[in-house]
Chain A
Amino acid sequence: NAGVTQTPKFQVLKTGQSMTLQCAQDMNHNSMYWYRQDPGMGLRLIYYSASEGTTDKGEVPNGYNVSRLNKREFSLRLESAAPSQTSVYFCASRVTGHGGTYEQYFGPGTRLTVT
């Protein structure tokens, strides 16, 4: 049981380039999330998917798009990277439904630098 996995672990982009961050979970969780972590800012929610087929904006969605490919996978796309998107990106998942608890399980993160 690998939990939540993210690829890549590290990435360097030039301004204007695009890329997709991949996330997968093998815990059969319904909900998935993308956060960014910046020094002194804690974690801020970019997008989330409460269930397969749905996505919603979080606190800081501008410049990003997401795709809930299936129940296991939730990808984050930067169409035209900007230096302000230099950050560490975390994916998380959570079980929902009767008897489910509310904690989220996090992946190891992707460290992205945009030059």
Chain B
Amino acid sequence: GNSVTQMEGPVTLSEEAFLTINCTYTATGYPSLFWYVQYPGEGLQLLLKATKADDKGSNKGFEATYRKETTSFHLEKGSVQVSDSAVYFCALTRPNSGYSTLTFGKGTMLLVSP
């Protein structure tokens, strides 16, 4: 079946450090890939997305590239801020369900200290 695997957290960084959160997936067909962010006490917000191989999604300084050869969609940011502290979820659509449902990874908590 379809699945998403993320690195376990928490990831603890100092402000201005480089961030990588790994995400790999298993899926049939050609899924679309997403990163969602959840700030404390809030719902999930779409951070970025990529819909085909080699696409790069980017938003708010975060980037992720859809790598079909390695089935990966790693999230990166060059210089994190305290305000980036949140839980990050990698997700994919299910091609065999007409793109109607999302499969999520378990989430990775990021803690950024001043």
Contacts and interface: CB of A to CB of B under 8 A. Distances in A.
A30 B74 CA distance: 30
Interface of A: 4, 31, 33, 40-45, 48, 50, 58, 90, 92, 94, 96, 101-109
Contact of B102 (A41, A45, A101, A109): A45
B106 A40 contact: yes
A90 B43 contact: yes
21 contacts: A31-B100, A33-B102, A40-B106, A42-B105, A43-B104, A44-B104, A45-B101, A45-B102, A48-B100, A50-B100, A58-B101, A94-B100, A96-B100, A102-B34, A102-B49, A103-B34, A103-B46, A103-B49, A106-B44, A106-B45, A108-B43
A4 B101 CA distance: 17
B53 to A, nearest CB: 16
Nearest to B32: A102
B83 to A, nearest CB: 19
B106 A42 contact: yes
Contacts of A4: 43
Contacts of A107: 43
